[in-house]
Amino acid sequence: MKNKESNIPSLKIIETEDGSLTLMDQALGEIYHSRRGAITESRYVFLNRGLKYFLRHEEIFILEVGFGTGLNTLLTCLDSGKLNTRIFYDSVESNPLPQTIWDSLNYTEILGVRKELFDKIHLATWDTPVSIEQHFILKKIRGDIRTCPLRKSYHLIYFDAFSPEIQPELWTQELFNTLFKHTRPGGILVTYSAKSAVRNALKACGWVVEKLPGPPGKREMIRARRKA
């Protein structure tokens, strides 16, 4: 792995196995994406197991819990144009990264797309809907997912918070119940975690939970559905 120093002492930029960069928060001992591949993991968990579930919809409303590096947002924006699907994408983040960090990430280089698109996503005004591309409307919400205002309902939730060990306050029945209420009948939640405590908390709120094969390096992941 190649390491680069960031200007935040606790954050280190590291290269993952697919060549894409991610962040290690050394103070927390937590990595933002899988070491097996940042782009590989995001595409597998959130797009292949989430977004593609709704390919036949003309409009999709998505909520992302954890904007982070903006990778999930970028990949979803790129797919919205390919699929000719209009996506309304809300992303909640309590601690946005400074430009010196996200500007060093190599996602557009790896994906072969213009960097201006990634810049536009990160520079979009917070708490205001911004048209990033013709088919992609982004609203970055600055705040705590447990208390910030959300749309009435979503088709799809990307649950991409730090791990249950690092952010246990976000992997609770209380929060999953709130998200359930904001999910349309037939809508789904996808996350990289497959811990039994997470599955049990989701089931207690009424989600129908299935374990799916996980991305490289991870045996399983979760997709939870609100019954139609």
Report in angstroms the alpha-carbon separations of 199 from 11, 77, 161, 176, 225.
30, 29, 15, 10, 12
How many domains does one find in the chain? 1
Q: Cβ atoms within 10 A of the Cβ of 188, count?
A: 21
User: Does residue 3 form part of some domain?
Assistant: no
User: Does residue 24 form part of some domain?
Assistant: no
Output the pLDDT for position 4: 37
Helix and strand numbers (H, E) in the chain are 7, 12
The size of the chain, in residues, is 228
User: Does residue 131 form part of some domain?
Assistant: yes
Output the pLDDT for position 8: 58
Provide the whole-model pTM: 0.94
CA pair distance 34, 17, nearest whole angstrom:
9
User: Does residue 207 form part of some domain?
Assistant: yes
Q: Could you read off the pLDDT tens digit of each residue along the chain, which spans 228 residues? A: 333 333 455 899 999 999 999 999 998 899 999 999 999 999 999 999 999 999 888 899 999 999 999 999 999 999 998 888 899 999 999 999 999 999 999 999 999 999 999 999 999 999 999 999 999 999 999 999 999 999 999 999 999 999 999 999 999 999 999 999 999 999 999 999 999 999 999 999 999 999 999 999 999 999 999 998
Of the candidates 157, 189, 67, 62, the one whose C-alpha atom is nearest the C-alpha of residue 118 is 67
Output the pLDDT for position 9: 59
Q: What is the dihedral of CA 38, 166, 175, 35, to 10 degrees?
A: 10
CA pair distance 144, 79, nearest whole angstrom:
27
CA pair distance 207, 187, nearest whole angstrom:
10
User: Does residue 17 form part of some domain?
Assistant: no
User: Does residue 144 form part of some domain?
Assistant: yes
What's the CATH code of the domain at 206? 3.40.50.150
User: Does residue 31 form part of some domain?
Assistant: no
CA pair distance 126, 61, nearest whole angstrom:
18
Pairing of strands 130-133, 136-142: antiparallel
Rg of the chain over all Cα atoms, to the nearest angstrom = 16
CA pair distance 220, 92, nearest whole angstrom:
25
Quickly list DSSP for 72-83. HHHHHHHHHHHH
Quickly list DSSP for 90-159. EEEESSPPPHHHHTT--HHHHHT--HHHHHHHHHSPBTS-EEEETTEEEEEEES-TTTS---S-EEEEEE
User: Does residue 149 form part of some domain?
Assistant: yes
Q: Which domain holds residue 212?
A: 37-225
DSSP 45: I
